[in-house]
Each structure stands twice: as structure tokens, then as C-alpha cells.
Amino acid sequence: MKILLYVFSLLFFMACSTSRNTAQKDKNTDDASKFAASITAENLKTHLYVFASDEFEGRNTGEPGQKKAIKYLKDFYVTQKISSPLAKDDYYQEVPEAFLNQHSRRGRLKDSENVLAYIKGTEKPDEIIVISAHLDHVGMENGEIFNGADDDGSGSMAILEIAEAFQKAVKAGKGPRRSILFLHVTGEEKGLLGSKYYTENPTFPLENTVCNLNIDMIGRVDKRHTIDSNYVYLIGSDKLSTSLHQVSDSINTKYTNINLDYTYNDDNDPNRFYYRSDHYNFAKHNIPVIFYFNGVHEDYHKPTDTPDKIEYDLLAKRTRLIFHTAWEIANRKERLVVDQLEPEIKSN
């Protein structure tokens, strides 16, 4: 009889524990959905019509238009009461002219800036998820402004919406367990220079960086997907961390059901997109990455890449996918595991 009572007690305890764990998971899902709902096409459109306007003169690295862009980003974070990891009112990581010109592939450059904002984790603040996009574009040529609405105004404004959603969670007492760094880098168009500078002069130790979710062009549709635009290219998700790839895939299935296209994730991709955006400067240090990308289109690097051509509902859906992925990585029990080395490092 005592044995039966022990068995029943054990089964009851296990059932209660399972019920509590299930309830906690359901609650976390509800929280994520609630805050993700604050990411809207209308907000993204409002931001992008400013950020990719003629006033910003194509946001060329180190030029007046780029200075307007970084002020826009800083003002947003100040308004949202999202702090800087640098100093109270200093959101700019200075990227000096000497560094830029040492590494630039495209002409002489002036001093420039990355923009950093930060939400501190509640339980594991020393573990950092970096969400990045490049704030610069190619500027002006022969009197024409290259507005860069998709490249990469779309990614830059997606970060603002993701940051605001996380800040709403903080205000509701549901802040992320791990810290989030919102990183807007300069000089991408000149050779991934802002991200190179950050990873060589990190605000937080690189060994504490859990992953980098990099957003570069997510507001348009390429020719391969004109019939079904419910897609986004994912590049790099499985190259360094099997667990990152699994999280990414499962979160998409749970929340957004976007067609995840891995065409450009192929190691033999002749476009070599894996090496062509800012995430690669993190991958070189064996930090797991995902690069979110819509592919190139007829307005790529042309004056016609303007805000009126962005598909804002699709941009919002892709942005919510990235938010949900970041939310899961920030709040899961275990840190992502690095179980592979970056391919070029592995070959050395």
C-alpha cells in the first residue's frame, strides 16, 4: 500500500510539474504574440518615409545625410527610453576616419558612427543578442539621390519596431532574460566597415555574444517570388549552430509561417551573400548568425529604391519573425550552442 501511495504521489507531482511547465510555455507564447502585435506596417511606413527621404541625401558614410540618419535613430531611442550601453546620452560609437580609410573599398571617407541601444536582461544580462542593420547607403551621384529604402532602410526601421516591442515588454514587467543590443552600423556599402569596427572594438565581450540577427533588405520581393511573396531568404542559420537553425525554423512554424528560402545559404552560391553583409564580421568570430534578406530587385543600388515601392505588410510580417526569433533566444533556458566553426576558419 505504501508503495502504491508513493507511486500515485510521484505521478501526481509529475503531472503538476508538467502542467506548470506547459502553462509557462503558453504564457510565454501569449506574451510574445502580444508584443509582436505592436509591430505594424503603418509604423514602419511612417519611419521609412522619413529615413529614406531626400532630406537624408542617401545616407552616405560620413556625410551630412548620414548624420541626420543617426540623429533620427538616437532620437527614437531617447523617446522610447531605451538606454545606450555607452553612456547616458551617448548612443554613438565613433568610427574614425583613419580606420575607415584603412579598410575602405570605395574612396576617401570621413569620420562616421555606429548607433547602439540596449535593453538589459533580467536574469542573464551578460549574455547578449545583437540585432543589426546598416544605416548607411550610397549617397548621391550626378545630382540624383539614392534613397536606399529597401537597402537598408527596411532593416534599420525593422530594428526600431523590434526595439519598441521589447521595450513594451520591459514596461509590462516581461523584459528579456538575456540582453539585447540594437546595433545600427555605418559603412556597410564601403566594405562592412561599421560592423568590422564594432567586432574589433566591441562594447560587450564577443565571447558573451550569443548570436547576431542581421537584417539587410526585407521590404521588397525579387523575381523568383512574384507569384508567392510570402518568403524571406535565410542565410547562415545552420553554419555555426544547429540549435539556432532549429529555433529559427520552429519559431517560424509557430508564429509566422513564412516560406524560409535557403537558396543563398548554399556554400557554393556564386553570389556569396553569406560574406556580403554585416553578420559575417560576427561569423568570423564563431558567433552564430542569421542574415534576413529579400534578394535583389530591379531598384537595387538605384535612385528608384524609394519608400513607395516597399511592401509594408510583408515588411511587418518579416519583422515579427525576427522579433519572435530574438524573443525565443533571449528567453530560452539554455544558451545557443556553437557546434561548428566558421567555414573559412575551419579550413585553416
Instruction: Identify the bridge partners of residue 131 per DSSP, sorted by sequence position.
Output: 182, 213
Q: Cα(25)–Cα(31) distance, rounded to whole angstroms?
A: 10
Q: Provide the whole-model pTM.
A: 0.92
Q: Tell me, what's the pLDDT at 18? A: 47
Integer CA distances (angstroms), 8 to 1, 12, 16, 68, 121, in order:
11, 6, 12, 67, 40
Name the nearest CA neighbour of 63 among 110, 116, 115.
110
Q: Cα(88)–Cα(107) distance, rounded to whole angstroms?
A: 34
Q: Tell me, what's the pLDDT at 265? A: 98
Q: Tell me, what's the pLDDT at 42? A: 98
Q: Is the pLDDT of residue 14 over 70?
A: no
In which band, very low, low, confident or very high, does the pLDDT at 9 lie, cut at 50, 70 and 90?
Answer: low
Please compute the mean of the pLDDT values over residues 283-304 and round it to a whole number: 98
Work out the percent of the chain whose per-residue pLDDT is above 90: 87
Architecture of the domain whose range is 31-347: 3-Layer(aba) Sandwich (3.40)
- Cis before residue 152, ω within 30 degrees of 0? yes
Residue-wise burial string across 307-323, b where 16 or more C-beta atoms lie within 10 A, e elsewhere: bebbbbebbbbbbbbbb
Q: Tell me, what's the pLDDT at 26? A: 55
The per-residue pLDDT for range 102-157, each reduced to its tens digit, is 999 778 999 999 999 999 999 999 999 999 999 999 999 999 999 999 999 999 99
Q: Tell me, what's the pLDDT at 4? A: 45
* 189 CB-contact burial (10 Å; exposed 0-12 / middle 13-18 / buried 19+): buried
In which band, very low, low, confident or very high, does the pLDDT at 257 lie, cut at 50, 70 and 90?
Answer: very high
The per-residue pLDDT for range 153-193, each reduced to its tens digit, is 999 999 999 999 999 999 999 999 999 999 999 999 999 99
Q: Tell me, what's the pLDDT at 15? A: 52
Q: Cα(213)–Cα(166) distance, rounded to whole angstroms?
A: 15
In which band, very low, low, confident or very high, does the pLDDT at 30 lie, cut at 50, 70 and 90?
Answer: confident
What grid cell was written down for 215? 537584417
Please compute the mean of the pLDDT values over residues 315-324 and round it to a whole number: 99
In which band, very low, low, confident or very high, does the pLDDT at 23 lie, cut at 50, 70 and 90?
Answer: very low
Q: Tell me, what's the pLDDT at 5? A: 46
Inter-helix orientation angle 41-51/312-331, to 10°: 110
In which band, very low, low, confident or very high, does the pLDDT at 12 lie, cut at 50, 70 and 90?
Answer: low
Helices (H) and strands (E) in the chain, counts: 10, 10
Q: Tell me, what's the pLDDT at 7? A: 44
